[in-house]
Amino acid sequence: MQSVRPEFTFGAFSCWIIKPNMPNTILIGAQWGDEGKGKIIDVLTDRADIVVRMQGGNNAGHTVLVGKKKYVLHLIPSGSLRPAKKCVIGNGVVVDPIHLVDEIEGLKKLGVKFKNNLFISETAHLVFPYHRLLDECRENSKGKNRIGTTKRGIGPAYGDKAARMGIRMIDLMDADGFSELLKQRIKTNNELLKALGAKGLSSKKVAADYFAAARKLKPFVTDTVRLLHEACQNQANILFEGAQGTFLDIDHGSYPYVTSSSTTAGGACTGTGVSPNRIDKVIGVMKAYTTRVGEGPMPTEDESLSEHFHEMGREFGATTGRARRCGWLDTVLTRHASMVNGINEIAVTNLDGLDTLPVIKVCVGYRLVSKKIDYVPNAMGSLAKCKPIYREFPGWLSPTEKCRKWSELPLNARRYLKAIAMLSESRIQIISVGPARAQTIEL
Ligand code: GDP
Ligand code: IMO
Ligand code: MG
């Protein structure tokens, strides 16, 4: 149904809302990230007014294919590729201003326009070069116990935020205050860096780089909490773009092999200031199999599947280019994801990745030493010891990339999808059979 709702304005910006209704929707990853969130966000943005990033930073890499052009978004919401949509970087995101300026410039070169359509929270915390250096030093010093971070400084930046030593976007907008804050923070961090064997930073150089970035970002910086509140009051439809995935969540993930933010649905409210009673729906995105990049347990990891995908040129990280570890779909994990996120609908991506496999396995439980369990153990040592209990499905052995309707999918693919929906205790609403917009089936 088409609806025309009142114009909403915020400061100098305004927009008319004329489009089919879509409820306020949180979209999160139901596995270990890289589920194909960017592609699904891009498809859904067509029906939304505003797309908001609520957590993470440029550790994220969301791939969107529009025609023949491939875009990889790190900090800018994936909705930015649809003109006339508003994009918000919420307060829960940690922003590396130098990276953000580069990302904006890079997207501009690809034809994306940024005019009255990008809003950056003034209370978002900033990532500094000392965060990146500390991230790297800490990873190096951990040796085989490393987390396998993206080395973008995400952990140290969220650490400073929690320790109340962070510097926010609003601080960067105030030149005098910022210089003083930065000087103090660089002094403390240089001591830390030197203790870890790294070279210290010059606060003058960092300040100059950050001021240059601040000049370019200033027009976009605003109070996004009030902006989103006004948008809600005017019935604008908001799409919350999660980064990372449920099992990288600081509370609910496979700690300590996680990122440092709330990647689960709850993070959408704290990371944007939109209240929980404004949320209508949660979509969980999952691959038709499992991937993970970085260290940490992954019960269904399977070397032959990794080879299968890597030989096809698939499953290399969008941010770091690292080969992703691949394994069969783990419904113990996806069921847990349904529980902690309140997933109403699932989007299954990369179904086409399984097209050529004669037998497809799905993990339905774990064997932990002599016990069978059907939940995710919290102790990392236990998760590492879990051996998957598989149910096998016959493959469909035919290409799905041209399927556009449920009825066009091979029978065995439909059986597989029905089974994984049931095992994940949720309902499949979207199926993706290729990276392009059109390669999407909606039920
Ligand atoms: P995100 O971080 O969750 O947005 O996912 P990434 O972009 O890091 O990784 C997902 C990869 O899968 C990207 O290369 C996408 O272009 C690709 N992709 C998404 N959906 C599909 C699909 O259904 N089939 C295929 N073949 N590729 C897909
Ligand atoms: P998107 O949004 C997959 C992983 C890293 C590492 C751990 C901690 O594209 O799905 P960090 O740099 O955040 O401190 O790293 O988290 N990781 C991701 N894995 N997709 C991501 O984002 C990721 N962001 C971080 O590989 O294991
Ligand atoms: Mg990614």
pLDDT of amino acid 10: 58
Does 90 fall in a domain? yes
Do the beta carbons of residue 354 and residue 360 sit within 8 Å? Answer: yes
Looking at the fold, whether 330 and 190 belong to one and the same domain comes out as: no
Which of 176, 202, 217 is the endpoint of a domain?
Answer: 217
Note whether residue 3 is domain-resident.
Answer: no
The residue-averaged pLDDT of 259-268 equals: 98
Centroid of ligand 3 to alpha carbon of 63 (angstroms): 7
Does residue 233 share a domain with residue 203?
no
Is 34 among the catalytic positions?
yes
Contact 246, 340 (CB under 8 A): yes
Residues 267 and 386 in one domain: no
Q: Is-catalytic flag, 229?
A: no
pLDDT over 50 (residue 388): yes
Residue 295 lies in a domain: yes
Show which of 199, 217, 235 is a domain's final residue: 217
Whole-number pLDDT of residue 159: 98
Number of compact structural domains in the chain? 3
Please tell me the pTM assigned to this model: 0.95
Q: What rounded mean pLDDT belongs to the chain?
A: 94
Which of 100, 93, 75 lies closest to 216 in space, CA to CA? Answer: 100
The answer to whether residue 183 sits within a structural domain is yes
Residue nearest to atom 6 of ligand 1 (CA): 34
318 and 431 assigned to the same domain: yes
Contact 258, 248 (CB under 8 A): yes
Question: What pLDDT, on a 0 to 100 scale, did the predictor assign at position 329?
Answer: 98
Same domain, 323 and 420: yes
C-alpha to C-alpha distances, 98 to 103, 145, 292, 327, nearest whole angstrom: 9, 30, 28, 36
Q: Is residue 9 part of a domain?
A: no
CATH number of the domain bearing residue 32: 3.40.440.10
Pocket flag, ligand 1, residue 435 (CB < 6 Å): yes
139 alpha carbon to ligand 2 midpoint, in Å?
Answer: 14
- Is 17 among the domain residues? no
Partners of 8 in beta bridges: 15
Both 90 and 179 in a single domain?
Answer: no
Same domain? 307 vs 436? yes
Q: Which of 42, 46, 49, 62 is catalytic?
A: 62
Ligand 2 pocket mutation pick from 293, 295, 315, 349 by most atoms within 8 angstroms of CB: 293
pLDDT tens, residue by residue, 195-210: 999 999 999 999 999 9
We report the CATH number of the domain holding residue 375 as 3.90.170.10
Query: Residue 17: what pLDDT?
Result: 47
**Residues framing ligand 2 (Cβ under 6 A):** 29, 33-34, 59-62, 147-150, 152, 154-155, 243-245, 248, 259-260, 293-294, 318
Q: What is the CATH number of the domain that holds 150?
A: 1.10.300.10
Please check whether residues 115 and 147 belong to one and the same domain: no
394 in any annotated domain: yes
Asked whether residue 434 falls in the same domain as residue 380, the answer is yes
Task: State the pairing for strand pair 118-121/221-222.
Answer: parallel
Give the DSSP letter string of 216-272: HHGGGEE-HHHHHHHHHHTT--EEEE--S-GGG-TTTSSTTSS-SS--STHHHHHTT
**Closest Cα to atom 8, ligand 1: which residue?**
34
107 in the same domain as 150:
no
* Whether residues 226 and 335 fall in one domain: no
Residue where a domain stops, chosen among 192, 217, 242: 217
254 and 141 within one domain: no
Give the pLDDT of residue 135. Answer: 98
Q: Among 392, 324, 321, 405, which Cα is nearest to 363's?
A: 392
Query: Tell me: the pLDDT tens digits for 274-325?
Result: 999 999 999 999 999 999 999 999 999 999 999 999 999 999 988 889 999 9
Domain span at residue 179?
A: 125-217
Mean pLDDT of 240-254: 98
pLDDT digits (tens, 9 = 90+) for 120-173: 999 999 999 999 999 999 999 999 999 999 999 999 999 999 999 999 999 999
Instruction: Return d(Cα 377, Cα 366) in angstroms, integer.
Output: 10
Residue having the nearest C-alpha atom to atom 9 of ligand 1: 34
